[in-house]
Amino acid sequence: MSAPAAPGTARRGPGAALPDFPWDSLAGAKALAASHPGGIVDLSVGTPVDPTPEVVAAALRSAADAPGYPLTWGTAPLRETVAAWFARRRGVPGLDPDGVLPTVGSKELVAWLPLLLGLGPGDAVAHPAVAYPTYDVGARLAGATPVPVDVSAGPAALEEARRAGHRVRLLWLNSPSNPTGAVLEAPELAALVAWAREHGAVVAGDECYAELGWDAAHDAFRGGLVPSVLDPRVTGGDTTGLLSVYSTSKQSNLAGYRAAFVAGDPALVRELLEVRKHAGMIVPWPVQVALAAALADDAHVAAQRERYRARRAVLRAALEGAGFRVDASGAGLYLWSTLGRGSRETVDLLAARGVLVAPGHFYGAAGERHVRVALTATDERVAQVPQRLAGLDAPGA
């Protein structure tokens, strides 16, 4: 292994083409927020803070004796559990368990998918214009071109990219969105899938917040649904060229477990599997057992949702009372909020009151006037936000 480059020298290898890690730039604002007499209320990252459910922890302990190598593909019972979860929770009956593959969290799959699919120079990866930065990073790691598009405009946005000379080979969709919380409905997904199939592109739906729909239409615990890219209304009963990416980090407080999966087209999954077997990209056996337990138990998910629902109500009222407008945010783990100012100015304004949030420009130029406010702080910390934001909308505040 070569020695790391000395400070101030040029980077080499794949990292040379990557932007700096955006959250590193929050160090100053974090220090300012931490200097508040009451301490920091950190709403910037979205890291779960509540306990891991006992049903999952018990499953992990039961599999602690694991001397052999786990299966890269995952066990048949795990893959069948995922298929049953899709039928029960996502409105996707009859998913082929052969089209399921556990992953080491969802972020690694997002970052490596273009490379695993064989994309490279001359190929384009389209992703939402306001989006999680790893879609862009994944394209760059493969040597492909990241192309932000307004997916809410439907196929017209993709046609515009094609006319600009981009050969879209992979289309990322993110519903519910990180950071905005917007949901793509089944007809919108179907139109985008139809365009992708016509032009030979794979569609990957990042659906990690699907259990966090807050209005009745998208709340699976109240008869609603956040549509999946694998929904029969979207696929026409054919999953060819389609993948759904999901993580239990948020719904089950398992960010530390790195317990996730990709599912959909069995042929595509087999292609990913073959590369991952060579590369040793394997989910540990105890985590596979824990993942199955998490997906088989809905009660802990419902309980966690209610924690987030209560925190969301407190934070939204505090933000709107302080003059913020909350846009979209009908689902997911964040409140996409704006004072009509630049996002860094808003971050600093809130940091001075001990509240740290993420600037919208982390998610693309189109997010420059917003900040992302996470629901992931303890009840005690969240309860302090209304008082800290009081008077923020006063002249000169």
- Domain map (residue ranges) of the chain: 14-51+300-389, 55-297
Over 60: is that where the pLDDT of 16 sits? no
Question: Is the confidence at residue 95, as pLDDT, over 50?
Answer: yes
Measured CA to CA, the distance from residue 90 to residue 190 in angstroms comes to: 16
Which helix (DSSP H) or strand (DSSP E) does residue 299 occupy?
helix 299-321
What's the pLDDT at 15? 53
In this prediction, residue 23 has a pLDDT band, given cuts at 50, 70 and 90, of confident
For 162, 214, 313, 355, the CA distances from 383, given in Å and listed in that order, are 48, 20, 11, 12
Structure token digits, residue 283:
């989910």
pLDDT of residue 35: 97
pTM of the model: 0.93
**Closest-CA residue to 226 (of 213, 238, 245):** 213
Match domain 55-297 to its CATH number in 3.60.21.10, 3.40.1390.10, 3.40.640.10, 3.40.50.460.
3.40.640.10
| d(C-alpha 116, C-alpha 204), whole Å | 13
Residue 194 pLDDT exceeds 90: yes
Query: Do 14-51+300-389 and 55-297 fold alike per CATH?
Result: no
Q: Are strands 202-206 and 242-247 parallel, antiparallel or unpaired?
A: parallel
- DSSP assigned state of 9: S
How sure is the predictor about 4, in pLDDT bands with cuts at 50, 70 and 90?
very low
Percent of the chain with pLDDT over 70: 95
| Average pLDDT of every residue of the chain | 94
**Whole-number Å distance between alpha carbons of 325 and 335:** 10
What does the pLDDT read at residue 303?
A: 97
The residue type of 368 is E
Round to whole Å and give the CA distance between 372 and 360: 6
Q: Does the pLDDT of residue 12 top 60, yes or no? A: no
pLDDT in tens, 326-357: 999 999 999 999 999 999 999 999 999 999 99
Q: Regarding beta strands 242-247 and 124-128, do their DSSP bridges make them parallel or antiparallel, or are they unpaired? A: unpaired
List pLDDT tens digits, range 308-324.
Answer: 999 999 999 999 999 99
The per-residue DSSP string of 51-116 comes to: PPPHHHHHHHHHT----SPPPTT--HHHHHHHHHHHHHHSS-TT--GGGEEEEETTHHHHHHHHHH
CATH superfamily of 14-51+300-389: Aspartate Aminotransferase, domain 1 (3.90.1150.10)
Name residue 334's beta-bridge partners: 374
CA 83 and chain centroid, separation: 20
Assess whether pLDDT exceeds 80 at residue 6.
no
By the 10 Å C-beta count (0-12 exposed, 13-18 middle, 19+ buried), 106 is classed as buried
Q: Residue 18: what pLDDT?
A: 75
> What are the tens digits of pLDDT across the range 249-265?
999 999 999 999 999 99
Residue 323 Ramachandran class (φ > 0 left, ψ -120 to 50 alpha, else beta) = left
Which pLDDT value is given to residue 5?
41
Instruction: Give the torsion through C-alpha atoms of 303, 263, 219, 386, to 10 deg.
Output: 60
